[in-house]
Structure 1
Amino acid sequence: MNLREKTIVMTEEDMDRVLRRIANEIVEKNRGVGDLVILGIQRRGVHLASRIRNMLRDSEGSKIPSGELDITLYRDDLAVLSDDPVVHSTSIPVSISGKNLVLVDDVLFTGRTIRAALDALMDLGRPASVQLAILIDRGHRELPIQPDYLGKMVPTSSSEIVEVKVKELDGEDRVVICDREVAI
């Protein structure tokens, strides 16, 4: 599928500013970083979570446990996706029981990825709370899931695609709205 860039939503500077704001809001809401665990949802959420964790470490002077969560096998559309789904790693170096978890992902759309993440978490323990940090909320929810921390609300049509790029995977930081190019 070819994509045609339509609108730049965030530049590298915008992303950094938004992630710093989210990190500050996490500290405020949790009255510090005690019992906090930051978990990134594979793939780009992992890199955004790492940045937030580093910002929290720098501002609060504390090491914050973090990890990676793969939700592939918890998806309700797994059979539709592929005969050979790509499974990434789940790595959570501490027990999540009794902890305040902050799930981090790049784009919130229907809410089904977050539902799958919640199912995966419940198989790993019973956290005290689960909070959601999202870089871009594009609307079109199918489940009653809302972020606790939001970078930016970007209304989109269902035919548009929000593409988040992170340096760690894509060599650049930015968010763009794209249209699918139709072959003629």
Structure 2
Amino acid sequence: MSEATHVIMDEAAIRRALTRIAHEILEKHKGVEGCVLVGIRTRGIYLAQRIAERIKEIEGVPVPVAELDITSYRDDVSSETRPSSIPFEARIEDRKVILFDDVLFTGRTVRAALDAIMDIGRPQMIQLAVLVDRGHRELPIRPDYVGKNVPTSRTENIEVSLVECDGSDSVTIMNPRGKA
């Protein structure tokens, strides 16, 4: 079945949303001391890196960025396959972790990320930043920072493209043909 697509965020809109999120993080934390940005692989890491760049431009202070692979923590993978250690570049013990993902939908990816982070250490707090919140939560998870709220139906899909892995920046909503 073919799909009708509609771009809901272009490169400029994504840039503005990430700049706003960077300012919100700085305002909420009065700087970035004690913070670490953690991106969920794949696109979350690029969002975290971009936010870190914006914060450095604004404040002149670097903020640590780490990548988190949650594959073995997904609830559709047996727990027996979980690795005994997770590669992680940044210390999180007693730090403020800001977790990044591209799209928040059911909350299951974030739940897996929370489990992975807690296996690494005990942060002071964990906050969630997403580029797009599309609703339809199955778990009680709410983002602290949102680029754009996009109400969707369950039949629609949100596709985030980032230049680092897809060649261009955009957020597209895809409707099954005939439902547009």
TM-score, structure 1 normalization: 0.89
- Tell me the amino acid that sits aligned with residue 47 of structure 1: Y
Q: Which of residues 167, 170, 173 is equivalent to 2:166?
A: 170
Distance of 1:22 and 1:42 partners within structure 2: 19
- Normalised by the size of structure 2, how large is the TM-score? 0.91
**Which of 116, 119, 133 pairs up with 1:123?**
119
Q: Which residue of 2 is the match for residue 159 of structure 1?
A: 155
Q: Partner residue of 1:24?
A: 23
Query: Alpha-carbon deviation of 1:45?
Result: 0.6
Q: Deviations over 1:71-120 (max 9, x none)?
A: 110000236xxxxx9x9xx6432210000010010000000000000000
Shift of 1:58: 1.3
**How far apart, CA to CA, are the structure 1 residues paired with 2:171 and 2:123?**
31
**Correspondence 1:59 to 2:58:** yes
Structure 2 vs 1, CA of residues 3 and 110 (structure 1 numbering), >3 Å: closer, same or farther? farther
Taking only the aligned residue pairs, the percentage that are identical comes to: 50
Q: One-letter code of the match for 2:117? A: L
Deviation of 1:181 after TM superposition, in Å, equals 5.7
Aligned-partner SS, 1:78: coil
Structure 2 residue corresponding to 1:146, chosen from 142, 145, 150: 142
Task: Supply the distance in 2 between the matched residues of 1:3 and 1:69 (Cα, whole angstroms).
Answer: 33
Alignment of 1:33-44 (within 5 A): 33-44=32-43
> Which of 94, 110, 114 does residue 114 from structure 1 map onto?
110
CA deviation after TM superposition for structure 1 residue 158, in Å? 0.5
Q: Separation in 2 of the partners of 1:144 and 1:18?
A: 24
Shift of 1:9: 0.8
- For structure 2, the residue ranges without an aligned partner over 5 or more in a row are none
Between the aligned partners of 1:157 and 1:144, the Cα distance in structure 2 is 19
Q: SS of the counterpart of 2:45?
A: helix
Give the RMSD, CA atoms, in angstroms.
1.9
- How many residues are aligned here? 173
Contact 1:5 1:176 in 2 (8 A): no
Partner of 1:103: 99
C-alpha distance after superposition, 1:154-182 (max 9, x if no partner): 01110111000000111000000013469
In structure 1, how many angstroms separate the alpha carbons of the residues matched to 2:98 and 2:27?
13
Q: Determine the C-alpha separation between the residues in 1 that align with 2:141 and 2:2.
A: 28
Aligned to 2:45: 46
